[in-house]
């Protein structure tokens, strides 16, 4: 009998875990090619900078977790794809996109998943309306901010 190679995967079968990581890895590599963020000292007044849609991902569960996020345009092409490893009650706001999203997808290795259309409220008074994704014990919640 061979040793159990899935002992650190939370009970997820190895094949599913490999498929999850491979899919997200390929999507992440493709979406990040040629992308870089630069924060200039004292802020920046560059044209279009206020249009950036930030991706805010929060783990509001009692356990550390991985959250995959994919943001797509109207044609289904990836604008952003990344896997976050978050401790309990932690929010990551380190990423964004410079285009208007159409669809947001979030998922975890245990099968929790959600997909929704990017549709922020019109009453938000800002250019790039940020995407908020919160994982709770009940599933994903979406929200928007400035």
Q: Has residue 2 got a pLDDT over 50?
A: no
Cα gap 58→93, rounded to integer Å = 9
- Between 10 and 143, name the one with better pLDDT: 143
Structure-token match 């044209």, residue found = 47
- Are the C-beta atoms of residues 28 and 81 closer than 8 Å to each other? yes
pLDDT band at 20 (very low <50, low <70, confident <90, very high): low
Structure tokens at 82: 């990344």
| 63-85 as b/e: b if 16+ CB within 10 A | eebbbbbbbbeeeeebbbbbbbe
pLDDT, one tens digit per residue, over 66-123 is: 999 999 999 999 999 999 999 999 999 999 999 999 999 999 999 999 999 999 887 8
Instruction: Round to whole Å and give the CA distance between 120 and 131.
Output: 8
Percentage, residues of the chain above pLDDT 70: 66
- C-alpha–C-alpha distance, residues 99 and 88, integer Å: 30
Q: Which residues contact 115 (CB under 8 A, 6 or more apart)?
A: 103, 104, 105, 106
Q: Write down all domains in the chain, each with its CATH number in brackets.
A: 14-37+48-145 (2.60.40)
């Amino acid at each position: 009998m061979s040793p159990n190679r899935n002992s650190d995967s939370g009970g997820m079968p190895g094949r599913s875990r490999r498929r999850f990581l491979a899919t997200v890895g390929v999507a992440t590599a493709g979406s990040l090619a040629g992308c870089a963020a630069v924060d200039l000292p004292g802020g920046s007044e560059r044209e279009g900078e206020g249009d950036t849609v930030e991706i805010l991902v929060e783990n509001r569960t009692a356990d550390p977790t991985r959250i995959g996020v994919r943001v797509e345009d109207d044609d289904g092409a990836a604008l952003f794809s990344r896997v976050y490893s978050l401790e309990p009650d932690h929010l990551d706001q380190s990423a964004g996109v410079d285009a208007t999203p159409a669809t947001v997808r979030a998922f975890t290795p245990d099968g929790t998943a959600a997909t929704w259309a990017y549709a922020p409220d019109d009453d938000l008074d800002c250019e790039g309306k940020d995407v908020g994704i919160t994982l709770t014990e009940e599933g994903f919640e979406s929200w928007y901010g400035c």
